[in-house]
């Protein structure tokens, strides 16, 4: 994605106060400012995850910096495994909602004293992913000829770093998840808390294993390979999306 930006200026996460360097392979750890479709953007090249040992607050901290920079829209992307059996590897999924098992249990960035300079103590999350932005994303996917493989669904956040057991994947299916991932949701909570609107897209890098003794085993290498393949479609969609949003 960063290659599509012009007039760039970048900063290593490690050089920015209170940012944390990513240890996950495939996550560079760089903040890049620039222009995309004549719009000013700031792009996180990589992110940190709770499974790296960071608190939800630490993971979501950059979003508060974005708020102070004047960011109005947060576009979140991630790699995820398909729980929904109609999804295929390489599909994109516009996120319409999420399940935050980690956060519901108390590990979320809004726990603790509320900083009312950013937002309220109690936060409605019933329309977390902006309806107008979702409709625009799906319309643009159709215009780009991507309708066949762009879905809309529910992202379930698990801490990781392990991929789900068969019973866990089946549980997520019963709960209504379409895909499972290890990121994104802490950042979305902090964005909604401070009034930033959110658009999210997952790239389906694998199908979660839902048959016991099937012999299938997931690996991060497969996720990286398939993520790289899906990223061309993701970039086309996001680029067009940035062009069209106000």
Ligand X SMILES: Nc1nc2[nH]cnc2c(=O)[nH]1
Nearest residue to ligand X by CB is 81
Q: Cβ 27 to ligand LQZ7MJT6, closest distance in Å?
A: 6
Indicate the residue among 92 and 182 with the shorter CB distance to ligand LQZ7MJT6: 182
Q: Residue 24, interface with ligand LQZ7MJT6 (CB under 6 A)?
A: yes
Q: CB neighbours of 136 closer than 8 A, spacing ≥ 6?
A: 241, 244, 245
Q: Kindly tell me which of 119 and 198 has the beta carbon lying closer to ligand LQZ7MJT6.
A: 198
Q: Which is nearer to ligand LQZ7MJT6, 73 or 184 (CB)?
A: 184
Alpha helices, DSSP H, located in the chain: 56-69, 101-104, 131-143, 166-175, 185-193, 220-244
Contacting residue, 36, 75, 133, 182, with ligand X by CB under 6 A: 182
The item of ligand LQZ7MJT6, ligand X, none sharing an interface with residue 164, based on CB under 5 to 8 Å by kind, is ligand X
Residues 28-57 that bind ligand LQZ7MJT6 (CB under 6 A): 47, 49
In the sheet that 30-36 helps form, which strands lie side by side, from edge to edge?
6-12, 30-36, 39-45
Nearest-angstrom CA–CA distance, 232 and 238: 10
Chain CA centroid to CA 212, Å: 29
d(CA 180, CA 182): 7
Q: Which one, 73 or 78, has the nearer CB to ligand X?
A: 78
């Amino acid at each position: 994605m960063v290659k599509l930006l012009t007039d760039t200026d970048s900063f290593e996460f490690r050089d920015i106060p209170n940012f944390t360097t990513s240890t996950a392979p495939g996550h560079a750890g760089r903040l890049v400012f620039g222009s995309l479709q004549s719009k000013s953007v700031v792009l996180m090249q990589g992110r940190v995850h709770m499974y790296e040992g960071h608190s939800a607050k630490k993971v979501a901290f950059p979003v508060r910096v974005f708020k102070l920079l004047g960011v109005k829209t947060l576009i979140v992307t991630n790699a995820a495994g398909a729980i929904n059996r109609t999804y295929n590897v390489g599909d994109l999924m516009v996120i319409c909602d999420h399940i935050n098992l980690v956060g519901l249990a108390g590990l979320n960035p809004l726990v603790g004293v509320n900083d009312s300079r950013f937002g309220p103590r109690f936060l409605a999350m019933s329309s977390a992913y902006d309806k107008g932005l979702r409709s625009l994303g799906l319309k643009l996917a159709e215009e780009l000829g991507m309708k066949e493989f762009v879905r809309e669904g529910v992202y379930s956040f698990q801490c990781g770093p392990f991929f789900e057991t068969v019973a866990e994947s089946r549980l997520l299916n019963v709960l209504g998840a379409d895909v499972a991932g290890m990121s994104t949701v802490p950042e979305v909570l902090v964005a909604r808390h401070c009034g930033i609107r959110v658009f999210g897209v997952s790239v389906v890098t694998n199908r979660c294993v839902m048959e016991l003794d099937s012999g299938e085993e997931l690996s991060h290498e497969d996720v990286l390979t398939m993520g790289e393949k899906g990223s061309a479609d993701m970039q086309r969609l996001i680029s067009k999306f940035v062009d069209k949003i106000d």
